[in-house]
Amino acid sequence: MNKPVNRTPADGAARILDTLRMRERIAAQVDALFTMQSAPFRQWQGEALHAAVAHAADASPFYRSHLASSAPAFLRSGQVKDFTALPFTTRQHLHDAYPFGMLAVSQDALVRFGESSGTSSGTSIAAFFTAEDWFTNNCTVAHMLQQVLTPHDVVAVAVPYELAGVGQDLDRALELIGCTVVALGASPQFCPPERMVRILRDAGVTALICSGTRALHLSEVAQQLGIDPRRDLKVSKLLCAGEGSSPAKQVILRETWGAETFAMFGMTETNTLGMFCSANQLHLIENRSYFELIDPASGAPCAPGVAGELVVTTLSSRALPLIRYRTGDLVHIEQAPCTCGSPFHTMRHMGRVADHIVVQGRSMSMLALEQDVLSELTSAPYHFGVKVVDEKLHIGLTENNYGEEVRARVAARFVAQHGLEVNFLLMDKDKVDKAVRNAVKPTMQSIYLN
């Protein structure tokens, strides 16, 4: 039997009160940053960047050697040119350092450990947080969410809760703003889509957080159950996470659900990076991270207004500081301020750098391809597949969209937009349904033809 812990009930109460006081202090700090004017905010960010590099170079075993030759110059000068001379951090570095090679606090100080298996590489990386790191995340996300949600909202969260931090972080943020949380999760064994739809109806859910592909699939399942999302459900806000959605997909989602769509994005190791505002623009979460854009091929910084790969330096992650971390996401950062008044820049997410296919020397992003196909489809299910065989692009469509007229329109669009002839393949509707149904993170990619 374990030895009883030697402490009095009063110690336990004091510890809990300490945690609550820490939360109060962090909530005030996060609030102050959200309401700052642009100039003082940029000054704060410069100081936070300096402190973040100093902490990583001093306390993280990985960064002690990774930044040994470059950090001193930046820490002396604070100049941008010395910052951009710091080497990048890649997912491979995080994988090689698994589990605690990046840890920059004592292991005792952690309150959370998670890991991600990655979308394309298949390599595991660890993510961990101190109590302050974690609550800063929760509070920041709550600030963004409450621009759209109110305490009257009943919010269903259908993203993974297991190991990944995103579901847990959203869940706590929703509690902070007083919403009713319905933690659906993303396990098809535990909560298949039929059960999700029934709960959306029975619990009176008003906002749904999931990937766009899952939202499309749930609307199809609802129709099969005789439930019309517009008529029989109260969902008026779709908060799309886990994959980029093309404008065409957002139009379909708005129409099938009779709901407004909002975008957010992030990753396990960085937590939330971008989130919507009251003006429905996607903001970079700049109180938690410093952002740069680089040319994905050369690594050189992009000129203002030019799209590039998003590079993140964390500003408030004591446990897992990341310096110049390459996200693999293609992003365009707007230069003009948002009408919502936030000091944070707005951005457009243009998909993953790796999510491109090359056909006859032309490179197309999957998101652009999704836009071209979905713009022309006329009925649910709206899923499609993509395959390149012998330098020819093949588009897979399900029977409902395989009619001559739709195929002719898709073909004409690809000739006009890309100068490409396309071939078509008939996809089995049941196989597509099964692929989406069994995916923990359903994205359009789960159904690409392989």
Which residues contribute to the site for Zn ion (CB under 5 A)?
277, 279, 281, 338, 340, 342
Nearer to Zn ion, 215 or 338 (CB): 338
Nearer to Zn ion, 332 or 418 (CB): 332
Nearer to Zn ion, 209 or 338 (CB): 338
Nearer to Zn ion, 194 or 260 (CB): 260
Smallest gap, in angstroms, from Cβ of residue 276 to Zn ion? 8
* Beta bridge pairs of residue 449: none
* Beta bridge pairs of residue 95: none
Nearer to Zn ion, 204 or 341 (CB): 341
Smallest gap, in angstroms, from Cβ of residue 279 to Zn ion? 4
Question: Rounded to a whole number, what is the largest CA-CA distance in the chain?
Answer: 76
**Residues 350/183, Cβ–Cβ less than 8 Å:** no
Smallest gap, in angstroms, from Cβ of residue 286 to Zn ion? 12
Smallest gap, in angstroms, from Cβ of residue 287 to Zn ion? 14
Give the CA dihedral 204, 208, 212, 213, nearest 10 degrees: -50
CA 217 to mean position of chain CA atoms: 19
**Cα dist from 10 to 2, 14, 18, 20, 286, whole Å:** 22, 6, 12, 15, 39
Smallest gap, in angstroms, from Cβ of residue 155 to Zn ion? 21
Nearer to Zn ion, 340 or 357 (CB): 340
**Residues 181/167, Cβ–Cβ less than 8 Å:** no
Nearer to Zn ion, 271 or 281 (CB): 281
Smallest gap, in angstroms, from Cβ of residue 333 to Zn ion? 13
- Tell me the DSSP string of 122-134: ---EEEEEEHHHH
CA 74 to mean position of chain CA atoms: 30
Smallest gap, in angstroms, from Cβ of residue 30 to Zn ion? 17
Residue matched to tokens 């997410």: 349
Smallest gap, in angstroms, from Cβ of residue 332 to Zn ion? 15
Nearer to Zn ion, 59 or 340 (CB): 340
CA 1 to mean position of chain CA atoms: 44
Give the 3-state secondary structure of residue 337. Answer: coil
Q: Is 152 exposed, middle or buried (0-12, 13-18, 19+ CB in 10 A)?
A: exposed
**Residues 226, 223: Cα–Cα separation, whole Å:** 5
Q: Is 342 exposed, middle or buried (0-12, 13-18, 19+ CB in 10 A)?
A: buried
Smallest gap, in angstroms, from Cβ of residue 281 to Zn ion? 4
Helix (H) or strand (E) run with residue 215 in it: helix 212-224
**Cα dist from 78 to 84, 201, 289, 362, whole Å:** 11, 55, 17, 41
Nearer to Zn ion, 206 or 281 (CB): 281
**Cα dist from 177 to 143, 153, 353, whole Å:** 8, 10, 35
Nearer to Zn ion, 72 or 337 (CB): 337
Smallest gap, in angstroms, from Cβ of residue 357 to Zn ion? 33
**Residues 146/130, Cβ–Cβ less than 8 Å:** no
